[in-house]
Amino acid sequence: MLSIKNLHAEVQGRAILKGINLEIGSGEIHAVMGPNGSGKSTLSYVLSGRDGYRVTQGEILYKGKNLLDLSVEERAGEGVFLAFQYPVEVPGVSNMSFLRTALNSVRRYRGDDIISAAEFLKLARDRASQLGMDQAMLNRPVNVGFSGGEKKRNEILQMALLEPSLALLDETDSGLDIDALKIVSEGVNALRSPQRSALVITHYQRLLNYIVPDKVHVLARGRIVETGGKELALELEQKGYGMLGLDNDTTEAA
Amino acid sequence: MAEVALTDEALREATEKEYQYGFVTDIDSEFAPPGLNEDIIRFISSKKSEPDWMLDWRLDCYQQWRGMEEPDWAFLKYPPIDYQDAYYYAAPKRAEDAPKSLDEVDPKLLETYEKLGIPLHERAALAGVAVDAVFDSVSVATTFREKLQEVGVIFCPISEAIQQYPDLVRKYLGSVVPKADNFFATLNSAVFSDGTFVYVPRGVRCPMELSTYFRINAAKTGQFERTLIIADAGSYVSYLEGCTAPMRDENQLHAAVVELVAHDDAEIKYSTVQNWYPGDENGKGGIYNFVTKRGACRGRNSKISWTQVETGSAITWKYPSCILEGDHSVGEFYSVALTNNYQQADTGTKMIHVGRDTSSTIISKGISAGHAQNTYRGLVKVLGSAERARNYTQCDSLLIGDKCGAHTVPYIETGHPSARVEHEATTSKISEDQLFYVMQRGLSAEDAVGLIVNGYCKEVLKELPMEFAVEAQKLLAVSLEGSVG
């Protein structure tokens, strides 16, 4: 699904990623943990193609294609989805019309038929209720006045509608209480299939009790310094990054 | 690496799209000789077979205009306009006088309006919308007149109203915008050639949307239309105007006057979607749009609401205003003004509170991209008689790119201690965050900008009649193409 080789990237002339190697197979879920500023969010932005995140070396193959040749929206069309750490407000645009425009843009890219307003309404309501979301949220402007938890759920709702093949979840668990965490995790798990993969960025082992990863990686100072199974997360939780010779917050801010 | 600049590039590529109403209709036209003098005014008046009182009115305005100076207080830069180097009258030639029915209208004209998305055949027309089609200096067709006549609504070219309803015209013409009001209005009063007249009788709710579609076609020709709408006691009317013009390298002048009168408990909703040719991406050509629009809320509980979506013209100078004379009368101004490339707009409103318990609302959204300059200029004036007057003003400016400008110039004068006037203003940019967020969901850069800008304008767009709101949304997206880079 995703193959990252010797990836180096910089932001505003500062090197943040310094040789990442990562292979995610179809159907796998990988977790990335690591101290603040280790480059976790940068990795998710490089994968989704954000402006200003410059790749200086290395390659990324996604479904056999050179991901770096694709624009932001082409990557979205190809099934790359980023659940934002800080979802952005879009005033005046109803969540419903945003979601439908997004879904139809992706469908058009894939050569699928446009979904009608009525069909979409039903679909969106279904997905929203599965995520325990108030239907009223569909009619409110995108993320405007949403609580932290509502914003995160809204990200998962978008993911559930767009059905990506590679989901990047950037600290989706931060700001969620335990009930919301369960619901969000169920949303992610519901999408699990042999055709879909996910990269879950988190600070806390807690999330990984609900979204059980196939592999856990520790990112520090722009490199993956440790890789293990789900038990690695548990060990880190107990011993801290010190066990790898790392302090929290010792590295450059991303 | 390539992917870094992709957002910018995608946006730049989109510049290619051209103004889509820039075609010229090849039709034989009759012109007045170029330039402006008393003979030209007599020519226009005789073309319209006007009564003497109308000619005298025009000549009086012309004399006053000669002593007036072009205003220079607006934040607009343009070379001096040579008022002698233009035609003041151009009309498609036709065999007889006015066509009796749509079947007699030149097919080329029908085709032109068809291309503009305004079918004039009643069976093909937008449901529930009556249209007066003004082509250069004349009205070429007016639809659904009989149907409106059944309920007593008069909807006709103003040239016809001058002959058929002289009492109404004489009573109201110039009663809201006086003869010597300002340079451009007075010029219009001297040379106006056509426009729309609407009278809605007492207690009638006009059963259709009324609209005028203004089209400039002939080269080197100014368009000077005059619109007069009267809503008698307890009546309601919703009116919409649209405007387009061919792409030309020269600048063309458009100086219109619109007067609205609302009596007791009457309501007029006036919407504009202005899409005159804005000039090319280097600022060459485009319409100079100098317009005076004013409504008088004469009656108690009357209401006038202006909604404008201004995306066209090289220069826009326009301040649709309300004089709130009747007690408890209400004035509203909802505006989206979008300038791209080298367009300049200086637009806003005046709310003059005269009566007691009058209230006004101003919502202005200015969007500036490219090298454009966009100014909101507004006056809220509360006279000593206007006890408990209230105003709420919200002016938002959105900048796209770093070479454009947004300016907000509010004037507030309160003459009564009980007045409550609120003013809020914001200036923002489309953030890279927003753009990335929306594009990550699969939208192209131009769709993303369109979506964000439409969201930003939502409060204004929702005031437009449904059919036109959709058009206005598309227009905003098209006008912005290639604006970020």
Q: Which residue bears the tokens 């993911």? A: A159
> What's the pLDDT at B39?
92
- In this prediction the ipTM stands at 0.94
Bigger pLDDT: B131 vs B148: B148
* Predicted confidence (pLDDT) per residue in A85-131, tens digit: 999 999 999 999 999 999 999 999 999 999 988 899 999 999 998 88
Residue B15 has pLDDT above 50, yes or no: no
Bigger pLDDT: B105 vs A186: A186
Residue B473 has pLDDT above 90, yes or no: no
Q: How confident is the model at residue B353 (pLDDT cuts 50, 70, 90)?
A: very high
> What's the pLDDT at B162?
95
> What's the pLDDT at B3?
28
Residue B479 has pLDDT above 90, yes or no: no
- Listed in sequence order, the residues at least 6 apart from A254 whose beta carbon sits closer than 8 Å to its beta carbon are A11, A16, A37, A38, A39, A40, A41, A42
pTM of the model: 0.84
Residue B21 has pLDDT above 70, yes or no: yes
Average pLDDT of the residues of chain A: 91
CB contact under 8 A, B455 and A92: yes
For residue B430 the two structure tokens come to: 């489309």
Q: Which residue of A has its CA nearest to B458?
A: A92
* Predicted confidence (pLDDT) per residue in A151-188, tens digit: 999 999 999 999 999 999 999 888 888 888 888 898 88
Q: In DSSP terms, which residues pair with B269 in a beta bridge? A: B238, B305
Bigger pLDDT: B31 vs B190: B190
> What's the pLDDT at B173?
96
> What's the pLDDT at B248?
73
Residue B396 has pLDDT above 80, yes or no: yes
Tell me the pairing of strands B359-368 and A223-228: unpaired
Strands across the sheet containing A14-24: A14-24, A2-11, A53-62, A65-66
CB contact under 8 A, A88 and B8: no
Percent with pLDDT over 70 in chain A: 97
Residue B50 one-letter amino acid: E
The mean pLDDT value for B3-9 works out to: 33
The mean pLDDT value for A195-201 works out to: 95
> What's the pLDDT at A253?
41
CB contact under 8 A, A51 and B451: no
Q: How confident is the model at residue B74 (pLDDT cuts 50, 70, 90)?
A: very high
Q: How confident is the model at residue A254 (pLDDT cuts 50, 70, 90)?
A: very low
User: Looking at the partner chain, which of B436, B452, B456 has a beta carbon nearest the beta carbon of A72?
Assistant: B436
The mean pLDDT value for B273-284 works out to: 85
H-helix or E-strand containing B162?
helix B158-164
Q: How confident is the model at residue B214 (pLDDT cuts 50, 70, 90)?
A: confident
B327: distance to nearest CA of chain A, Å?
A: 34
The mean pLDDT value for A192-221 works out to: 92
Bigger pLDDT: B219 vs A251: B219
The mean pLDDT value for B189-196 works out to: 91
CB contact under 8 A, A51 and B10: no
> What's the pLDDT at B9?
39
* E strands, B103-189, in order: 129-135, 138-142, 154-157
Q: Are B327 and B298 in contact (CB under 8 A)?
A: no
Residue B1 has pLDDT above 70, yes or no: no
> What's the pLDDT at A250?
47
Q: How confident is the model at residue B30 (pLDDT cuts 50, 70, 90)?
A: confident
Residues in chain A whose Cβ is within 8 Å of chain B: 48-56, 68-73, 75-77, 81-82, 84, 87-93, 98, 101-103, 105-106, 109, 141-142, 158, 162
CB contacts < 8 Å between A and B, how many?
A: 102
Phi, psi at B121, each rounded to 5°: -65, 130
- Listed in sequence order, the residues at least 6 apart from B272 whose beta carbon sits closer than 8 Å to its beta carbon are B240, B241, B242, B243, B306, B307, B308, B309, B310, B320
> What's the pLDDT at B483?
65
Residue of A71, A112, A155, A166 for testing the chain B interface, max B β-carbons within 10 Å? A71
Q: Which residue bears the tokens 């929290």? A: A248
Q: Which residue of B has its CA nearest to A101?
A: B443
Q: Which of B78, B113, B108, B103 is nearest to B93 (CA)?
A: B108
> What's the pLDDT at B219?
75
For residue B95 the two structure tokens come to: 């065999």
A11: distance to nearest CA of chain B, Å?
A: 11
The mean pLDDT value for B427-450 works out to: 90
Q: Are B389 and B382 in contact (CB under 8 A)?
A: yes
B435: distance to nearest CA of chain A, Å?
A: 9
Q: Are A133 and A161 in contact (CB under 8 A)?
A: no
Mean pLDDT is lowest, of A22-26, A238-242, B237-241, for A238-242
Tell me the pairing of strands B315-318 and B330-339: unpaired
> What's the pLDDT at B16?
36
Residue A252 has pLDDT above 70, yes or no: no
Q: Which residue of A has its CA nearest to B446?
A: A73
Residue B125 has pLDDT above 70, yes or no: no
Q: Which residue of B has its CA nearest to A100?
A: B441
For residue A17 the two structure tokens come to: 């990623």
* SS3 (DSSP) at A224: strand
> What's the pLDDT at B147?
86
DSSP B118: -
Residue B142 has pLDDT above 70, yes or no: yes
Percent with pLDDT over 90 in chain B: 54
The mean pLDDT value for B279-304 works out to: 93
Q: What separation, in Å, do the N-terminal and C-terminal C-alpha atoms of chain B show? A: 18
Q: How confident is the model at residue A249 (pLDDT cuts 50, 70, 90)?
A: low
CB contact under 8 A, B442 and A84: no
Residue of A72, A165, A166 for testing the chain B interface, max B β-carbons within 10 Å? A72
For residue B442 the two structure tokens come to: 């699969």
CB contact under 8 A, A55 and B456: no
Q: How confident is the model at residue A48 (pLDDT cuts 50, 70, 90)?
A: very high
Residue A229 has pLDDT above 70, yes or no: yes
- Listed in sequence order, the residues at least 6 apart from B408 whose beta carbon sits closer than 8 Å to its beta carbon are B366, B375, B376, B395, B397, B425, B427
A45: distance to nearest CA of chain B, Å?
A: 10
> What's the pLDDT at B242?
83
Out of A137-146, A173-182, B140-149, B213-222, give the one with best mean pLDDT: A137-146
Residue A67 has pLDDT above 90, yes or no: yes
Average pLDDT of the residues of chain B: 86
Tell me how crowded residue A90 is: count the other CB atoms within 10 A of its CB: 21
- What is the DSSP code string of A110-178? HTPPPPPHHHHHHHHHHHHHHTT--THHHHSEETTT--HHHHHHHHHHHHHHH--SEEEEESTTTT--H
CB contacts, 8 Å: B459 with chain A: 92
Residue B100 has pLDDT above 70, yes or no: no
